Structure 1
Amino acid sequence: MACTKSTQTRPEFTWRFLTLGEFTNQIVNVTAFTEHEAREKTPAGCVCILACRFRLKEVQHV
C-alpha cells in the first residue's frame, strides 16, 4: 500500500563548535544533518569541540 505522506524525515540541526587554532579561537555554526557532516564543514587544522546542537524549525507543506 502506498503512503501519501512520508514518515521518514531527517531533521536538520545547527551545530555549534568552539574551534581552537594555532593563533585564533572562534565559535563556528554549521547547518547539517549529522555531527559527522558538520565536522567535515569546519575549518581544517583546528581542534573542534562540540558546544551544542539546535534543531532547525521544521517546514510543513500544506
Structure 2
Amino acid sequence: MACTKSTQTRPEFTWRFLTLGEFSNQIVSVTASTEREARSKTPAECVCILACRFRVEEVQHV
C-alpha cells in the first residue's frame, strides 16, 4: 500500500502577547500555528496576555 504525504500545511500566524514580568512589561511577537505553540515560545517567568493574532501572508516576488 502506497503512503501519500499530505501537501496541506497548517496556517501560520503572528501572535502578540503583553508579557507582565516582575520588573518589566513588554510586547512579544511570535510566529506559530497555534496559540499553545506560541505560548510555549514566550518567556516562562512572565504572565502572557494574548493581545492579537495576525495571519502570516506569503509574499510572492515578481
How high is the TM-score relative to the length of structure 1? Answer: 0.79
Residues 1:26 and 1:15: Cα distance change in structure 2 (over 3 Å):
same
CA distance in 2, matches of 1:17, 1:33: 15
Residues 1:9 and 1:59: Cα distance change in structure 2 (over 3 Å):
farther
Unpaired runs of 5+ in structure 1? 1-5
CA distance in 2, matches of 1:42, 1:9: 23
Identity, % of aligned pairs? 85
Secondary structure class of the residue paired with 2:51: strand
Unpaired runs of 5+ in structure 2? 1-5
**Structure 1 segments of 4+ aligned residues over 3 angstroms from their partners:** none
How high is the TM-score relative to the length of structure 2? Answer: 0.79
> Cα RMSD between the aligned structures?
1.7
2:58 match? 58
